[in-house]
Amino acid sequence: MPDFPELRLRRLRKNSAIRSLVRETTVDSGDFVFPLFIVEGKGVKKDIETMPGIYHFSADKLGKEIDELVRLKIPAVLLFGVVNVKDEFGSGGYHPGGVVQQAIRAIKKAAPGMLVITDICLCEYTSHGHCGVIENGDVDNDKTLPLLAKMALSHAEAGADMLAPSDMMDGRVKAIRQALDGNGFNSMPILAYAAKYASAFYGPFREAARSAPQFGNRKSYQMDPPNVREALREIGQDIKEGADIVMVKPALAYLDVIRRVRETFNHPLAAYNVSGEYAMVKAAAARGWVDEKRIVPEILTSIKRAGADIIITYHAKEAAGWLAEQV
Ligand code: PBG
């Protein structure tokens, strides 16, 4: 093995052509899933204050946005519903005429090739803002499962291509898999938010989805941030229950978790570059403190380098262009 001065690592960084040849990780728009927030009503496209560049759309206004995603070669969207009327059991989530169900139909009509993934969780639809049914002041795991299964089935019936449970109840993947298989949807894939942490990085999303818990917090069901071995158990459990793709969420403060999951399991792995991660970049960029066009590709590359195959990101549309400019 040569040593300096024969060895010079800078030789392979000399110009963009060489750098391109030896680049170990690449990201492109085909890796992205773009989240969309669907509201009630007609003709709505409204800024979300905590997430500049991201909007609330009514189902009828999605056409242009979907066309743009197709043009940018972003293969998939992830749908969240934002509703005005909520109840204790989140019944807006499994209503056949619900906002997400309407949006699924609208998107599949506008662009049949666009992969429509839907978030399966009750928090956007419950009056108390928790991800399941409340019993004695806490979320009751087993009472929540049938409602999640009902919601999953309702999205499947509306034409969704993939379902993404984000509630963190034990046994939800199994409950959803059984409901799907029992109703003719045995080819519907499940993307499980398998290792989802109780994170402050969801703050801007909760404003956008109006889904903040009205009492307490989500620590009795979402994971404790210091734990990584537990993440491997969560992922292993969701795989055993039938998850086709697993997810680590958030991404950036959890790159080590992504790496460990990649090294331990062979399932496709998604990472969610969440709202707080997005908002921090946007806030700093707006002040001119960071160069957004460079920092975003660097961030997305780090998620891929850590081991993710799929990146769910609010940066998807802008990043699609910026990545192409990188040399
Ligand atoms: C629903 C859900 C949340 C996010 C995705 N699905 C919020 C939460 O758990 O409170 C967060 C996404 C983001 O912050 O971008 N349970």
**DSSP string for residues in 76-126:** EEEEEEE-S--BTT-GGGG-TTSHHHHHHHHHHHH-TTSEEEEEE-STTTB
What's the confidence (pLDDT) of residue 324? 77
In a domain, 12, yes or no: no
Q: Which CATH number does the domain housing residue 58 bear? A: 3.20.20.70
Domain containing 260 equals 24-324
327 C-alpha vs ligand 1 centroid, how far in Å? 34
From residue 182, alpha-carbon distances to 153, 174, 186, 187, 321 in Å are 10, 12, 8, 12, 43
Residue with tokens 């960084």: 13
DSSP state of 224: P
Q: Tell me the residue ranges of DSSP E strands in 197-309.
A: 245-249, 269-273
What's the confidence (pLDDT) of residue 303? 98
CA atoms within 13 A on the CB side of 188: 31
Question: Residue 28, SS3?
Answer: coil
Report the number of distinct structural domains present in the chain. Answer: 1
In a domain, 215, yes or no: yes
In a domain, 9, yes or no: no
Residue positions annotated with a catalytic role: 196, 249
Q: What is the mean pLDDT of residues 47-66?
A: 97
In a domain, 73, yes or no: yes
What is the identity of the amino acid at 264?
A: T
Angle made by CA atoms 111, 112, 114, in degrees to the nearest 5: 70
To the nearest whole percent, how much of the chain has pLDDT over 90?
97
In a domain, 195, yes or no: yes
Band of residue 241 on the pLDDT scale cut at 50, 70, 90: very high
C-alpha span between 115 and 77 (Å, rounded): 6
In a domain, 190, yes or no: yes
Band of residue 121 on the pLDDT scale cut at 50, 70, 90: very high
In a domain, 10, yes or no: no
In a domain, 2, yes or no: no
Lining residues, ligand 1, CB within 6 Å: 119, 121, 123, 131, 166, 202, 205-206, 211, 274-275
Q: Which residue has the least CA distance to atom 2 on ligand 1?
A: 166
**DSSP string for residues in 29-68:** GGGEEEEEEEESSSS-EEE-TTSTT-EEEEGGG-HHHHHH
Q: Which residue has the least CA distance to atom 14 on ligand 1?
A: 202
* Contacts of residue 139, Cβ cutoff 8 Å, sequence gap at least 6: 130, 131, 132, 133, 169, 220, 221
C-alpha span between 119 and 155 (Å, rounded): 9
Q: What is the mean pLDDT of residues 236-252?
A: 98
To the nearest whole percent, how much of the chain has pLDDT over 70?
99
Ligand 1 atom, smallest distance to 314 CA: 15
